[in-house]
A and B are shown apart, each in its own frame.
Chain A
Amino acid sequence: GDSVVQTEGQVLPSEGDSLIVNCSYETTQYPSLFWYVQYPGEGPQLHLKAMKANDKGRNKGFEAMYRKETTSFHLEKDSVQESDSAVYFCARNNDMRFGAGTRLTVKP
């Protein structure tokens, strides 16, 4: 296969919980990796990115480490807020392939 895989279609943490949203990629190349976020009624927008292995993308308390050895780019946050609720897409740039998306709904 040659794809980007997000294993969770939806996650429902409570405010203050920690979060991990999984992303794995398949490729023989070394792409840049991205997380895009999409709010209702809008187009996706860049959330964070990492250009090469061992880089860490950061934005608004979220982090994702580009791990070549496990071909992963998991999105993590120590303490989620209700305002983080959105759909998150993982993507790679060698063929602009996106994962299926993970809907994050943070309960108050």
Chain B
Amino acid sequence: NAGVTQTPKFQVLKTGQSMTLQCAQDMNHEYMSWYRQDPGMGLRLIHYSVGAGITDQGEVPNGYNVSRSTTEDFPLRLLSAAPSQTSVYFCASSSTPGQFQETQYFGPGTRLLVL
């Protein structure tokens, strides 16, 4: 198993540009989530999904969209990038059903710089 994969590893955007961060898992996990990691602030939950077709907002959802058309994939979309979205983004998945998660498995991260 590859586990949780994320592409790209690095990305530079200009303010106002759009992009999609890709996340895929091959563990047949129902729960998937997106976090951003900023210095001194830990990991903050952006959006999560408890199964295909179901998504919900986390702590910091503004400026981001998600969809979950398949169990395997959970892309994160930035419609109009802003410098405040410069961060490292992690995708995670878990086999625990529902909203309250036990062990989450994280991808290697995408480092995003918005100029």
- Of the stretches A38-46, A61-69, A73-81, the one at the interface is A38-46
A46 partner residues in chain B, CB cutoff 8 A: 103-104
Would you give the 0/1 interface string for A88-106, flagging 1 where the beta carbon is closer than 8 Å to chain B? 0101011111111100000
Do A43 and B90 touch (CB < 8 A)?
yes
Do B58 and A93 touch (CB < 8 A)?
no
Give residues of chain A (1-58) contacting chain B, Cβ–Cβ below 8 Å. Answer: 4, 6, 9, 31-32, 34, 41-46, 49, 51
A32 partner residues in chain B, CB cutoff 8 A: 100, 102
B104 partner residues in chain A, CB cutoff 8 A: 46, 96
B35 partner residues in chain A, CB cutoff 8 A: 98
B58 partner residues in chain A, CB cutoff 8 A: 96
Do A96 and B106 touch (CB < 8 A)?
no
| Interface size of A as a range | 20 to 34
**Cβ contacts A to B, 27 pairs, < 8 Å:** A4-B42, A32-B102, A41-B108, A42-B108, A42-B109, A43-B106, A43-B108, A43-B109, A44-B90, A46-B103, A46-B104, A51-B102, A89-B42, A89-B43, A93-B102, A96-B45, A96-B58, A96-B101, A96-B104, A98-B35, A98-B42, A98-B43, A98-B44, A99-B42, A100-B40, A100-B42, A101-B42
Most B C-beta atoms less than 10 A away, residue of A49, A89, A96 = A96
Binding site for B on A (CB under 8 A): 4, 6, 9, 31-32, 34, 41-46, 49, 51, 89, 91, 93-101
Other-chain residue from B42, B100, B107 in contact with A94 (beta carbon distance below 8 A)? B100
Q: How far is the CA of A4 from the CA of B45 in the complex (A)?
A: 13
Interface size of B by CB at 8 A reads 24
Take A43-B90, A43-B108, A43-B109 as given contacts and tell me if A100 and B41 are in contact as well, using a CB distance cutoff of 8 Å: yes
B44 partner residues in chain A, CB cutoff 8 A: 98
Do B45 and A97 touch (CB < 8 A)?
yes
Q: How far is the CB of A81 from chain B (nearest CB, A)?
A: 24
Q: How far is the CA of A89 from the CA of B37 in the complex (A)?
A: 11
Check if B48 is an interface residue, CB within 8 A of chain A.
yes
Other-chain residue from A4, A96, A100 in contact with B48 (beta carbon distance below 8 A)? A96
